[in-house]
Chains A and B, each alone.
Chain A
Amino acid sequence: MSTELEQQLRAGFDRLPKPTREISHSARAAALDALGPSRRRSRGGLVLVAFAVAFAVGAGAAALAATGNLHVRIGARGKTVRPVTTLLAVPPGSHGVAVVAGGKLWLATRGGLRIEGMPVSAAELSPRALYAVVGIGSSLVTLAPGNRRPWVHQTGGRVVGAAWSPDGLKIAYVVARRGGDELRLIEGDGSPDRLLVRPVRRVRPSWRADSLAVAYVDARGRGAVFDLSSGRRRTFDTRRCGGVAREVAYDRRAPALAVVSEHGVAVVRRWNRPAPCATLDLSASPIAAGWLRGGQMVLAVDRGLGSSLQRLSATNLTEAGSASGRAVMSGLAVAPTGSSVAVALRRSPKVVDVGIISSPETGARLKLNRLFLRIRAAPGTVSITWR
């Protein structure tokens, strides 16, 4: 006989929330794709024709093989190679790399921390890649190899972006909250945690090289900086430079901030001086920016029918080099040395290649010089951290 509690359990399960329409749709498509192409029964006539053609080709090939001009291999032809997830390799000369694509994390560090395909909302490596901080559900979690005990911090919302300060002592993160998304700061050891700004946009924050200021995008879509030493906020209106800001990136070596907007990019050095600004035509849209050694900026641009990687002079934003191609670029990170760039190129609608491109030269083809990860991932932005 079923008890009242059992009845309540059954009723409770019946009233559980449903999966969203988007995930139901994408899961259905993925499941049907896993089924493979539909197999149709071959018709008798078609088989005969195929047999005759195969016989003719076979006979010709055998004749060629007999003369030594063709090597014949008997047996089933290998299946078409399906793209598979490759093991993430740490690029030479670096401490570690982390890639978040389609809500999953791939991470490898020289210290021995390795994660493949773990569902996360955001991830970032500490300087020298000794630790990783990841958003899992409504928690911010640090991970470390060996016996180093990580910490877990309840954030009360989904972590959408995190950035470890260059001195390794603090983490700035953006958390999605019902009353407005927040930019928060937590010490590297997990406490204390404090609110810096609310509301902000869901954009990964970026630290100034001296670890005393953190850049973010405010609720009105303007690039902004919170100065930790004075507690003051400064905003830069990017609406005159290509619209709403969608990414901020501080130079690792100098106090120069790139504010990437819908159709342009600006470089802010001093808040009381006009910032150089480059606007792109409406069909082009920047995806991400980074800083190369020597103060040049690299900008990944979506051009509708392809992408380009531009190297810009940071003083006046004139183009110093550019590589373009038909592949869709969905993420960018600059090497710790500032000499090369890692990009995520979409190989097909479901497969992403992440690898290194040496500094782009004018007229060059957008092509990976060294692949370090190939994964299946749904369309969307790919976040890369390279330490």
Chain B
Amino acid sequence: MRMRSDAKLVQLARRGSRDAAAELFTRHWRAAWRAAYVITGRRELADDVAQDAFERAFGALSRFDERRPFGPWLHRIVVNRCLDLLRTERRLVGGDAELERLESHDVADGDRELLEAVAGLSLQRRVAVVLRYGLGYTPTAIGELLGIPAGTVNSRLARALEELRADYEVNDVDRA
């Protein structure tokens, strides 16, 4: 059976098809949750952000421009919700970075250090890394999604990789 495109599913969902909306949910749920998980560093926040993003996206589907792709729109909502939550939390608890460490009990040993290093990046760099390597967007697409120039995205990514390389390589030496 031929897979229906996101655009077709959005069109059907707007007409009230719950099946189409459910298919759209299934297609994007895991990636949205994982993006929220790496950005926030905590399972319960990822649960909250991803669910909230879908509720907002589906609630606003009637206002969504059908000519635009659904995925980047949803991911933009996810990223914005993560940033809102983390900034609110930071404001309330006085900017303590300890809260944002990745809860990585259920991550395989080999990946844990790398993901912890990602969690240690600044919020802006972390978001760029998640969108680039977690969700597979190009720097230009990330720029459009975040509303910033592609050059800024490239610079954030380059600095993030530099930081990760230093951090991760130090960990590698420690392990050796």
Contact = CB atoms under 8 A, between A and B. Distances in A.
Interface of A: 3, 5-6, 8-13, 15-20, 23-24, 26-28, 30-40, 103-104, 115, 118-119, 121, 136-139, 141, 143, 149-150, 152, 154
Interface of B: 13, 15-18, 21-22, 25-26, 29-30, 33-34, 37-38, 41-48, 50-51, 54-59, 61, 85, 88-89, 92-94, 96, 98-99, 103, 106-108, 111, 114-115, 118, 129-130, 133-134, 136, 161, 164-165, 168
Nearest to A12: B111
Contact of A5 (B41, B61, B94, B168): B168
A35 B47 CA distance: 19
Contact of A28 (B17, B22, B118): B22
Nearest to A149: B94
A116 to B, nearest CB: 10
Contact of B134 (A13, A38, A138, A139): A13
Contacts of B133: 6, 9-10, 13
Contacts of B48: 103-104, 119
Contacts of A6: 133, 161
Contacts of A27: 25, 29, 47, 50-51, 54
A28 B99 contact: no
Contacts of B55: 30-31, 33-34
A202 to B, nearest CB: 15
A104 B48 CA distance: 9
A267 B104 CA distance: 43
A28 B41 CA distance: 22
Nearest to B42: A137
Contact of B54 (A3, A34, A138): A34
Contact of A38 (B18, B25, B41): B18
Contacts of B57: 31
Given A31-B51, A149-B94, 15 more contacts: A9-B118, A12-B115, A19-B29, A19-B47, A27-B54, A30-B51, A31-B58, A32-B22, A32-B58, A33-B55, A40-B16, A119-B48, A136-B93, A137-B44, A137-B99
B21 A35 contact: yes
Given A16-B37, A152-B93, A152-B96, A8 B15 contact: no
Contacts of B18: 32, 35, 38
Contacts of A5: 161, 164-165, 168
Contacts of B54: 27, 30-31, 34
Contacts of A137: 41-42, 44-45, 99, 103
